[in-house]
Amino acid sequence: MRLTYYANACCLMEVDGFRILTDPWLVDGAFEGSWCHYPPLKVKPQELAGVDALFVSHVHPDHCCPETLSHFPRDIPVLVLGGPRSENEQETLGLLADGLEAGCAGCLMGRRVTQSPDPEGLVRQLVQIAHPIFSLNAVEECQPR
């Protein structure tokens, strides 16, 4: 395994030829322009556009930068973790919406769903955000009988 550190939590992990970029923030201006890299980065996002996958630990601008993501192919696998447990379902729905808006292809949810007071209802809402043209009837058809 080879690990190359770039900035903050952005690293390139290479294992047997498979390359995963973690927490891609390679463009200055996170948090409404108030954060920048110091010292300035020597790598440009387009230099890393050939990675096999992206890993995002949570959807904050210094871990999931929309401008950085715009340099990667839209079909690249992106693994987004759900962050810490939350009792607030609106926060969970916002996490997915923010990730999708930033360019992520999806979101991996765990305890935010399984420990929800209404896991089934939360999943239905998540599906509506991720697939707005997917009808609730289609979701119901996927239910175990």
Buried b or exposed e, range 11-46, using 16+ CB within 10 angstroms: bbbeeeeeebbbbbbbbeebeeeeeebeeebeeebe
Altogether, the residues listed in the chain come to a count of 145
Give this prediction's pTM: 0.65
User: Could you read off the pLDDT tens digit of each residue along the chain, which spans 145 residues?
Assistant: 999 999 999 999 999 999 999 999 999 988 888 999 999 999 999 999 899 998 888 778 888 888 888 888 877 877 777 666 677 888 888 878 877 777 776 667 777 788 888 888 888 888 888 777 654 454 445 444 3
Alpha-carbon gap, residue 145 to 75, rounded angstroms: 33
Nearest to 110, CA basis, from 78, 85, 143, 74: 85
